[in-house]
Structure 1
Amino acid sequence: MSRIAKSLTIVALAASLAACSSVDLNKDANGANSADANGIMDPFNPNSPLAQRKSVYFEFNDYSVSEQYRGVVEMHGKYLVSKPAQRVVIEGNTDARGGAEYNLALGQRRADAVRRMLTLIGVPDTQVETISLGKEKPKAMGNTDADFAENRRADFAYKR
């Protein structure tokens, strides 16, 4: 891919992220004000949207962030930009299907995809760490399609 094509792709992604901003950072899921005294949400407060919406889900065998979850990434990105000392780990996860090595690689690609979106929003790379947990940390323990879907995710894990 040429440099111009890469640059245009990055510009297009950044423009699409800016255009889809629809998350009010001072409101929780019920529309109530969830901001702290400084008007910024707190990922350690269980009532904050940052704590309630900390997962980005993926399709089977995929690591692209769908339009549905871009608002979640943007919400966390805005918070991280406003708090330069805050660090976060993006934990990539997979469902139970596939071998351990394959799932570790896929989980890493999922975490890295979220990280790339955060850097496009303006989050410094030094604030974000990525790790793959593969299939080792499932949210759902069953073997249904719904269980598998619940486990294909990347989670925001803030460091204190």
Structure 2
Amino acid sequence: MMQFKPYARSLAVAFSLALVAGCSSTGGTQDGSMSGSGTTSGSGAGASGAGTGQVSGSGLGDGSGQMADSRIPEVRTIYFAFDSDAIRPEFQSVLNAHARFLRNNPNANVVLQGHTDERGTREYNLALGERRAGAVEEFLSVQGVSPSQVEVVSYGEERPAARGSNEEAYAQNRRVVFAY
């Protein structure tokens, strides 16, 4: 039974990739013109200006899933509870969007930057930041993202998003950032 588990996982990943490949668009919708944020990574493949909404999606919700296949998702930071590396349910849709993007863009790479608040020792916070980024890496892997596309880095408390010694600042610093 133990030998069946890796085989079943490999089969599930292969099936997921085949499904994604079969459902993916044949190009032409990578115009990148919607948000105007200017932060789309310049791979040179996206300025064709071709059709909008031509991706054959399921028409779910607000349409954010349609463009997620060809553009880096806009939300690139997820947050964690104090002293925890557990992914909070409200961020699963963000992680799913990044997984979908990475699966559909096999040449794209991401660095998962783990961060903590200032409480705890430097060593503990570096380890906690790595566990947080590792939890995100594991989530992406289960979703079929190739391990070669993902790198994990921990900054611990060294690069705070917010200065201050209060819960509001701490909450903003307990995070993993997707750096494409």
Tell me which residue corresponds to 1:42.
Answer: 71
Shift of 1:138: 0.8
Say which of 27, 44, 49 aligns to 2:64: 27
- The one-letter code of the counterpart of 1:40 is D
Say which of 124, 143, 154 aligns to 2:146: 124
Q: CA separation in 1, counterparts of 2:62 and 2:108?
A: 17
Helix, strand or coil at the partner of 2:151: strand
Shift of 1:40: 3.5
Distance 1:147 1:135, change over 3 A: same
Say which of 114, 121, 136 aligns to 2:158: 136
Give 4+ residue runs of structure 1 displaced > 4 Å after superposition: 23-26
Q: CA separation in 2, counterparts of 1:99 and 1:137?
A: 15
Contact kept in structure 1, 2:70 and 2:104, CA below 8 Å: no
Pairing of 1:1-160 with structure 2 (within 5 A): 26-27=63-64, 35=67, 40-43=69-72, 50-51=73-74, 53-158=75-180
Q: CA separation in 2, counterparts of 1:113 and 1:129?
A: 12
- Any stretches of 5+ residues in structure 2 without a counterpart? 14-59
- Bigger-Rg structure (1/2): 2
Could you tell me the TM-score, scaled by structure 1's length?
A: 0.72
Shift of 1:109: 0.2
Contact kept in structure 1, 2:85 and 2:131, CA below 8 Å: yes
Shift of 1:26: 4.7
Shift of 1:143: 1.1
Helix, strand or coil at the partner of 2:163: coil
- Any stretches of 5+ residues in structure 1 without a counterpart? 15-22, 44-49
Deviations 1:105-158 (A, max 9, x none): 000000000000000100000000000000011111111101101100111000
Q: CA separation in 1, counterparts of 2:2 and 2:119?
A: 37
- The one-letter code of the counterpart of 2:134 is D
Q: Percent identity?
A: 36
Q: CA separation in 2, counterparts of 1:117 and 1:3?
A: 22
Contact kept in structure 2, 1:25 and 1:75, CA below 8 Å: no
The count of aligned residue pairs is 128
Shift of 1:72: 0.7
Contact kept in structure 2, 1:26 and 1:40, CA below 8 Å: no
Distance 1:150 1:85, change over 3 A: same
